[in-house]
A and B are shown apart, each in its own frame.
Chain A
């Protein structure tokens, strides 16, 4: 299971990376915005994408739309972990095809639940 973590803050990437490791996912890579993430996704055989929304360069929502528009990536499960908390934004993410949405600040338990739920659905 190879996971890409996209967030412009290195500390947040580190927190997510640590939490994922505690959940048993040790194969992770990091990118600091959509522009760096997209080529990695296209060439890296990732199984899962965790992305922030608000980033310089390409935002997380645009990255999600690009992923869904690409034939090779469109089935990639995407979990959004973000401080963006407006209802219209969550609806926009849902319409763009996000698989899970976690608002910051979050707990290890919430992240675990959402990831497990996504895999349950993907595997069923």
Chain B
């Protein structure tokens, strides 16, 4: 970066110095000198421009090598870091999806077991109360005793099954550890890529200054605004509590809708 500043500084100080001399030469009618000065100015500018383009090219090249995205490089056989990151994130999606489905499978299998035990217990309880009030005849009591016996066996089996499911549900949460590690690595890569890209952008801006290129910032902003049309959907908001334009929960939604006459 220091070198960038110095080559740009060179160019700008040469530009200033020569500008004064140029005006001076022209006023004094020394056109030969003036042409010579313009030539020197051009040379300084070109030298700086070539230097900056050279640096940018080298930096781009090393970025390409470090991301291993050049198909002509020998490392191309290995997957690039970006492809690798994409695969890692797909792995996270797969793992979380499997865990969610596994958990729901176990809940769906366990729920009817508990519901059945609950309704059987309710029915038995009614008859048991009748028995306590001595409203049950001997014949019916033998039947009731059988039902109680079978209920005890089934509730022992049923609770063992559901307890096993609860244990498995606990184990199904192990994805958190694995996905956490993967996401941390990908986050690290994204940070690296961002700082490398920033370096490239800064270098490109030096080239722009030498070449006198100006970008239409308004147009760039408009294009960006166009990309974030609300109808497309943005997914979950991360800093909902600190943002004015985002609701922070269902209560906020309800308030907003009722203010609209819902």
| Chain A residues in the interface with B (C-beta under 8 A) | 9-11, 14-15, 18, 53-55, 59-62, 82-92, 94, 101-104, 106, 110
| Candidates A9, A59, A101; contact of B253 at CB < 8 Å | A101
Structural contact, A53 and B233, CB atoms closer than 8 A: yes
Are B256 and A91 in contact, with the CB atoms below 8 A? yes
B residues contacting the other copy or chain, number (CB 8 A):
26
> What 0/1 pattern do residues 96 to 137 of B give for CB contact below 8 A with A?
010011001001100000000000000000000000000000
Residues in B56-106 with C-beta less than 8 Å from chain A: 97, 100-101, 104
With a cutoff of 8 Å between Cβ atoms, the chain B residues found around residue A11 in the complex are 97, 100-101, 104
Complex: A10 Cα to B97 Cα, angstroms: 8
What B residues does A84 contact at CB under 8 A?
233-235
Given the known A-B contacts A14-B104, A102-B250, are A83 and B235 also in contact in the complex, defined by CB atoms under 8 Å? yes
Distance A89 CA – B153 CA, assembled complex (angstroms): 55
Q: Does A87 contact B246, Cβ atoms closer than 8 Å?
A: yes
* Cβ of B248 to closest chain A Cβ, rounded Å: 8
Where the two chains meet, the residues of B that have a C-beta atom closer than 8 Å to any C-beta of A are 97, 100-101, 104, 107-108, 230-237, 240, 245-250, 253, 256-257, 260, 262
Please list the 3 inter-chain residue pairs (A to B) with the smallest Cβ-Cβ separation, ordered nearest first. A54-B233, A11-B100, A83-B236
Task: Sample 22 A-B pairs with CB under 8 A, ordered by A number.
Answer: A11-B101, A11-B104, A14-B101, A14-B104, A15-B104, A54-B235, A61-B233, A83-B235, A84-B233, A85-B236, A85-B240, A85-B247, A86-B237, A88-B245, A89-B230, A89-B233, A90-B247, A91-B256, A92-B231, A101-B257, A102-B253, A103-B249
